């Protein structure tokens, strides 16, 4: 079979960008991205896409209406496709067996059942969502238990490694594409068909093929390794603050060892995003189910350390402000989980903000890309607060950093947006309450300059002291 039509179930952060790039690179393949949310599909068909991702608007503009379509007509999408990506969400279960750890596979199962119901010809079904090992077996069981005469399925695992904020570059210049399939003639043929799609722009040597289970596990392993590096450097940031070592210098020094490498050694307020915590918890649950408690405990530490880092940073903010933030105005700069995305899933800013709100603070939040409704939704969510009315009263959303900081006792920088580096901090100092505090959770700002202006500054992984030439008023060491 030569693949002519692709359908993707799930028009989210993965399905949308991935299929847009496939459409761009394979002009003769017709790509239809389907979602059961009409609102999401309408946004994909509008001028304001549902997600902010640098470069995405351009790709969509080039292909939409030619060989790229966004539709709620899932039945048509499935029937016509030769190859179907399942790119639905796989959140952590919030109730029942495995609550708080296991991946909830109800959307995967739902997608498989839709395909089983609607398919009338042979399909290659590709699991793109991140799933626990052996999830492909669920899809396989559902499809093969409902096979209609003349319809055959091949199930492949093809996890996605894009990171938000750099999704288009990650897709166009993917370091590797991973495809897992069954070790049968038909399985290998299906792998080759999917390889052919990617080979339109990815060099064949960068396409790795494995068995299905290795492919599924590799995705969890990759995220666990990346998150583990962040927790490792964050653990050392606490040592740096207590000793006078500088975590950036430590990262630079160890990163020069090619066995360690320089990436993902940026100490921070803690990692966020929809993937790291969810996927490690997923791995932990898998280990527990496989009766491997020591392995589960090892990975649990990565999550625990991340929680510790968020708590440690927030505690430092409160303690520095004389151990009370009640009725104080605090500017939160950045709410997304990293720069260049409007996504707030598991953003550390949510934890920091909700803790400060619990302590009675009045928050003034500014983020260049996160909408007001999203911030309010996150902070009033029942898992975050039992007093949504109080939250609504004490949170103001601002359309610029300058407006957020006016009259503030402190600035808490949660996301490393480039524009925060360009702010005029002299001007900001003038409009803030004194003493004026800055807590830089991303090591983003020029601390020397801030100290010189008169700010009290604290950051991650470095004890900041004023030099003797600097006004004594803001001299600062960490607790
Ligand atoms: P998302 O929540 O943004 O999108 C999922 C979409 O699937 C939703 O719009 C939902 O309405 C839709 N959906 C659910 N069931 C459906 C069905 N039966 N038919 C049609 N649509 C359906 O999620 P996401 O961030 O795109 O993540 C999708 C998967 O990819 C997850 O497993 C995630 O772990 C994985 N992943 C995410 C990233 C990332 O950066 N966000 C990166 C790599 C892998
Ligand atoms: C991650 C993986 O990188 C990607 O391969 C996978 O497909 C999905 O999960 P994403 O969560 O979008 O991507 O962003 P990433 O750049 O990995 O950042 C995750 C979090 O870690 C962010 O909160 C980021 O600020 C933080 N981070 C990242 C650090 O704190 N320090 C670092 O050195 C790198």
Identify whether the C-beta of residue 114 lies closer than 8 Å to the C-beta of residue 9: yes
pTM: 0.95
Q: What is the DSSP string of 400-429?
A: SHHHHHTT-SEEEE-S--GGGGGS-HHHHH
Taking the C-alpha atoms of residue 233 and residue 174, their distance in angstroms, rounded to an integer, is: 26
**What's the ipTM?**
0.98
Lowest pLDDT segment from 24-28, 47-51, 471-475: 471-475
Contacts of 331 (CB under 8 A, 6+ apart): 363, 364, 365, 366, 401, 404, 405, 408, 410, 411, 412
Task: Ligand 1, residue 131: give the atom nearest the CA.
Answer: 32
Which ligand is nearest the CA of 224, by number?
Answer: 2
Cα(83) to ligand 1 centroid in Å equals 18
Q: Is the pLDDT of residue 308 over 80?
A: yes
Catalytic machinery residues:
275
Q: Say what the pLDDT of residue 466 is.
A: 67
163 known member of a binding site: no
Identify whether the C-beta of residue 23 lies closer than 8 Å to the C-beta of residue 63: yes
Taking the C-alpha atoms of residue 26 and residue 438, their distance in angstroms, rounded to an integer, is: 49
Peptide bond just before 67 cis, omega within 30 deg: no
Residue nearest to atom 26 of ligand 2 (CA): 271
Taking the C-alpha atoms of residue 357 and residue 344, their distance in angstroms, rounded to an integer, is: 18
Which ligand is nearest the CA of 247, by number?
Answer: 2
Q: Is the CB of 10 under 6 A from ligand 1?
A: yes
Q: Say what the pLDDT of residue 476 is.
A: 47
Q: Say what the pLDDT of residue 268 is.
A: 98
Lowest pLDDT segment from 9-18, 45-54, 464-473: 464-473
Q: Say what the pLDDT of residue 465 is.
A: 77
Q: What is the mean pLDDT of residues 227-256?
A: 98
Taking the C-alpha atoms of residue 459 and residue 61, their distance in angstroms, rounded to an integer, is: 41
Cα(273) to ligand 2 centroid in Å equals 7
276 known member of a binding site: yes
Q: Say what the pLDDT of residue 398 is.
A: 98
Could you give the angle at the alpha carbon of 348 between the alpha carbons of 268 and 171, nearest 5°? Answer: 80
Identify whether the C-beta of residue 17 lies closer than 8 Å to the C-beta of residue 168: yes
Split at pLDDT 50, 70, 90, the class of 1 is confident
User: Alpha-carbon torsion 332, 338, 343, 347, what sign?
Assistant: negative
What average pLDDT does the chain have?
Answer: 96
Lowest pLDDT segment from 67-71, 353-357, 419-423, 463-467: 463-467
Cα(375) to ligand 2 centroid in Å equals 20
Crossing angle for the helix pair 293-320 and 348-358, nearest 10 degrees? 50
Task: Ligand 1, residue 114: give the atom nearest the CA.
Answer: 18
Q: Is the pLDDT of residue 479 over 50?
A: no
Taking the C-alpha atoms of residue 72 and residue 11, their distance in angstroms, rounded to an integer, is: 10
Q: Which CA distances in Å does 207 have to 16, 166, 192?
A: 21, 20, 10
């Amino acid at each position: 079979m030569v693949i002519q039509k692709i359908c993707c179930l799930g028009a989210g952060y993965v399905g949308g960008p991935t299929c847009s790039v496939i459409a761009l690179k394979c002009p003769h393949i017709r790509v239809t991205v389907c979602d059961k949310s009409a609102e999401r599909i309408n946004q994909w068909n509008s001028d304001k896409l549902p997600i902010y991702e640098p470069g995405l608007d351009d790709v969509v503009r080039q292909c939409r209406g030619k060989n790229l379509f966004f539709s709620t007509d899932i039945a048509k999408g499935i029937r016509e496709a030769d190859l179907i990506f399942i790119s639905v969400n796989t959140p952590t279960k919030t109730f029942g067996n495995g609550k708080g750890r296991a991946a909830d596979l109800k959307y995967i199962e739902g997608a498989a059942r839709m395909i089983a119901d609607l398919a009338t010809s042979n399909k290659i079904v590709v699991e793109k969502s991140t799933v626990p090992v052996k999830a492909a077996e669920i899809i396989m069981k559902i499809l093969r238990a409902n096979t209609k005469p003349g319809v055959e399925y091949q199930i492949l695992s093809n996890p996605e490694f894009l990171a938000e904020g750099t999704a288009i570059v990650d897709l166009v210049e993917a370091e590797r594409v991973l495809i897992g399939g069954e070790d049968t003639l038909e399985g290998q043929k299906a792998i080759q068909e999917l390889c052919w799609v990617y080979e339109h722009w990815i060099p064949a040597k960068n396409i790795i093929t494995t068995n299905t289970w290795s492919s599924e596990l590799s995705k969890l392993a990759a995220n666990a390794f990346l998150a583990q590096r962040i927790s490792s450097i964050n653990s050392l940031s606490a040592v740096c603050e207590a000793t006078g070592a500088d975590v950036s210098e430590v990262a630079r020094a160890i990163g020069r060892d090619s066995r360690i490498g320089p990436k993902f050694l940026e100490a921070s307020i803690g990692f966020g995003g929809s993937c790291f915590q969810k996927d490690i918890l997923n791995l932990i649950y898998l280990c527990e189910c496989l009766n491997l408690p020591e392995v589960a405990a090892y990975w649990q530490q990565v999550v625990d350390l991340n929680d510790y880092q968020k708590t440690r940073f927030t505690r430092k903010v409160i303690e520095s402000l004389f151990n009370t933030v009640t009725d104080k105005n605090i500017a939160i700069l950045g709410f997304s989980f990293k720069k260049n995305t409007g996504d707030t899933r598991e953003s550390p800013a949510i934890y920091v903000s909700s803790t400060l709100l619990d302590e009675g603070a009045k928050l003034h939040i500014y983020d260049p890309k996160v909408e007001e409704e999203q911030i309010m939704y996150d902070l009033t969510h029942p898992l975050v607060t039992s007093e949504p009315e109080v939250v609504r009263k004490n949170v103001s959303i601002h359309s610029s950093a300058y407006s957020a900081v006016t009259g503030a006792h402190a600035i808490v920088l949660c996301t490393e947006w480039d524009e925060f580096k360009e702010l005029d901090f002299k001007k900001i100092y003038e409009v803030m309450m004194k003493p004026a505090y800055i807590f830089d959770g991303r090591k983003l700002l020029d601390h020397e300059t801030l100290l010189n202006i008169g700010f009290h500054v604290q950051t991650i992984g470095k004890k900041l002291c004023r030099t003797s030439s600097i006004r004594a008023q803001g001299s600062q060491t960490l607790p």
